[in-house]
Each structure stands twice: as C-alpha cells, then as structure tokens.
Amino acid sequence: MSAPAPDPPRGLPPATARAFWTTGPGRGEIRDQPLPEPVEGEVAVRCRWSGISRGTETLVFRGRVPESEWARMRCPFQEGAFPAPVKYGYAAVGEVEAGPPGLQGRMVFCLHPHQDRFVVPADSVLPLPDGLPARRAVLAANLETAVNALWDSPVLPGQRIAVVGAGVVGAAIARLAAAVPGAAVTLVDIDPAKAALAATLGVGFSLPDAAPADCDGVFEVSGVPDGLVTALALAGDEAVVTVLSWFGSSPVALPLGGAFHARRLTLRASQVGRVAPEQRGRWSYRRRLALALDLLQDPAYDFLLTGESDFADLPRTMARLAGPPDGTLCHVVRYP
C-alpha cells in the first residue's frame, strides 16, 4: 500500500496583540486580539511606552462620557463603543518593526490606545526628533493641547497670565507662556506642593485665595467647577478666560451675575480636536503634532512624568488613577 498523502500544510497561527479595554464603569482588562500583517503603506509598531491622559481617560474609565459626546469623543484607532467595552487612549511611542524603509527601526509617536503591538497607516506615525527621549515623547498629545490653547487665546509680550490647574496640560501651558517676552505667568493650584513644579518650569505659583487678580488672560485647566469660578475671579476687565477642562456629564454652576457683564469677560472653549481657527488655514493636525514633539526636547517636561508601571498592571493602575487625586501628573506605561 502506498503511504497516505500528507495533510495539507497549515498556516501559521495569526499574530496576536494585547490591548487594554475598559469593560465597565471602573473596570478594565488586558485582552488578546489578532494582529494583521502590514500591507503596503502600513507600519507595524512595537510599543515601548504609552502615557495616560488622566483627565479624559479616567472619565472614559468611569463611564462618564455623556451620550451626546460619544461620536465626538472617539479617538484614532479606538475599538468598541462608549460607555463600554471600549479600547481608548492616544499617547503611544514605539519602534517600527516593519514598513517603508525610511521608517523601519525608527522610534515614532502615534495617537493609539494602550496596546503592545499595532499596525496602522504609515502616515499615522511621526518619527521622534533626534535627541528626544522616547519616554518623554508620550507627552506629545498633551503638549499639542497646550499649543492649541495658546493659539486660541494668544499670550502677548508683557501680559499677566494665570493658569488655574497644575496638571499636565496646565503645566505645559505655563511653560510655553513663560517663553513669551515679558509675560508674567502664575500657576494656580490648591496643592501647595505644586510650588516646586512651578519653580522648575520657571513660573510663579499661588494658592487660589492669594492668586494675582486683574490678569490679561486666564487659562482654566483644573478639571473641577471651582477652578472655573477661580478663573473668572482672576480675569481683568475684558479679559479672555480660555477653558480647557472637560467635565463630562457633570453640571457646572458659574457666577455669571454680579460684575460678569459689566466687566465684559469672555469665556472661550479650547479643544484639541480642531486646530485653532486663526491657524487652521496653514496648520494641519500633523504639522501641529510635529511642533509639539519638537518642543518636547525641553528637558523640563520630564518633571511631568511622575508615575510608571508595567502594561500588565494597567487595569489596577487605571482604577487607582480614577480614584481620589494623589499628585500623579502623567503616568507612564512601560511595555516588555
């Protein structure tokens, strides 16, 4: 008898990636998922670091994104849907393992959720500038937000500026504003320990009750309604209060009686999802993000990286960060 015909060759098992998913209010897990092979025009990236945008990501983790914002709140390469299960995040830095020759082996930034390996279009990644540490580059999305805020409410030479809220974005705004000639910048926060951060950034510091009033411009980045009340109180006549905090589904009460109208104050929303109107004709999203990466070569921004943990610990890390404030600014996730 002849030998039986061999079984037809079987393909290799598909490659897999591991990604963090929010599975319900205050719950998350690491899930395996298929990883496609990159085709022409795509890159395969092995993630080395990602950053947690504490304000927005903890709102997502707690299931506090209002239904009216589900479409606008989608991030690039998000999977799933609000409120859960959803894969969310936008601060990944990794090494290109496969793709166009000019990108292979390069460290790149990508607006991608927390995932150890991923495949995206090549034009979705930006190579890091020479000399920029990969770990610091996770702040690119935050710094891009700060750049857009200054465009929305230009800081001019000699102005008195208050930044209410010494989180990552508030600190970045203060650092950028302080570079304007003659600008006097004060970082305002309820935590007196943030005075050391302000000194490192080269700006003043004050608790809300002692903050300088009659400011030419105020940025509100506190994430709490009381911070917005403070910002209004610090604004001088006809000043602009630029609001970056996003309160999700929480209502916010403001003192718009009294002298608000007589002082002709302006409340202006700033949101990174659109390039500031006066810059929109010449600046693309990609050009704005490239500027943020260039600005991150300033080593002072290392002081905003105040926590670090392994990717495998991300479900526990997110649960902790979604709890009471503990002084953490940008928490960095490291990958094996």
Burial class (CB in 10 A: 0-12, 13-18, 19+), 324: exposed
Q: Is the pLDDT of residue 224 over 60?
A: yes
Q: Decide which of 325 and 114 is more confident.
A: 114
Provide the total of helices (H) and of strands (E) in the chain, helices listed first. 7, 17
- 254-297 pLDDT per residue, tens: 888 888 899 999 999 999 999 999 999 999 999 999 999 999 99
- Is pLDDT above 90 for 21? yes
The CATH number of the domain covering residues in 16-141+284-334: 3.90.180.10
pLDDT for 6 beyond 70: no
Residue matched to tokens 């995932």 = 115
Instruction: Just give the CATH number of 154-269.
Output: 3.40.50.720
Q: For the chain, give the percent of residues with pLDDT over 90.
A: 88
Residue that wins the pLDDT comparison between 102 and 249: 102
pLDDT at 327: 87
The closest of 322, 190, 147 to 248, measured between CA atoms, is 322
What pLDDT is attached to residue 187? 98
71 vs 139: CA distance, rounded Å: 24
Task: Give residue 57's pLDDT.
Answer: 94
Residue 326 DSSP symbol: -
Domain spans of the chain, in order of start: 16-141+284-334, 154-269
**pLDDT tens digits for range 296-320:** 999 999 999 999 999 999 999 999 9
Is it true that 16-141+284-334 and 154-269 share their CATH fold? no
Residue 247 clears pLDDT 90, i.e. is over it: no
CB atoms within 10 A of CB 253: 8
* Mean of pLDDT over the chain: 94
Which phi and psi (to 5°) does residue 27 adopt? -130, 145
Is the pTM of the predicted complex or chain greater than 0.85? yes
What pLDDT is stored for residue 4 in this prediction? 52
Confidence (pLDDT) at 257: 86
Burial 171-200, CB ≥16 within 10 A → b, else e: bbbbbbbbebeebbbbbbbbeeebbebbee
- 276-281 long-range contacts, CB within 8 A, separation 24+: 276/148, 276/151, 276/152, 277/152, 278/151, 279/151
End-to-end Cα separation, the chain, in angstroms: 53
Selection from 30, 224, 321, 173 nearest residue 331 by Cα? 321
Q: What is the pLDDT of residue 295?
A: 98
pLDDT at 2 over 60: no
Asked if residue 51 lies in contact with residue 331, where contact means CB atoms within 8 angstroms, the answer is yes
Give the DSSP letter of residue 115.
B
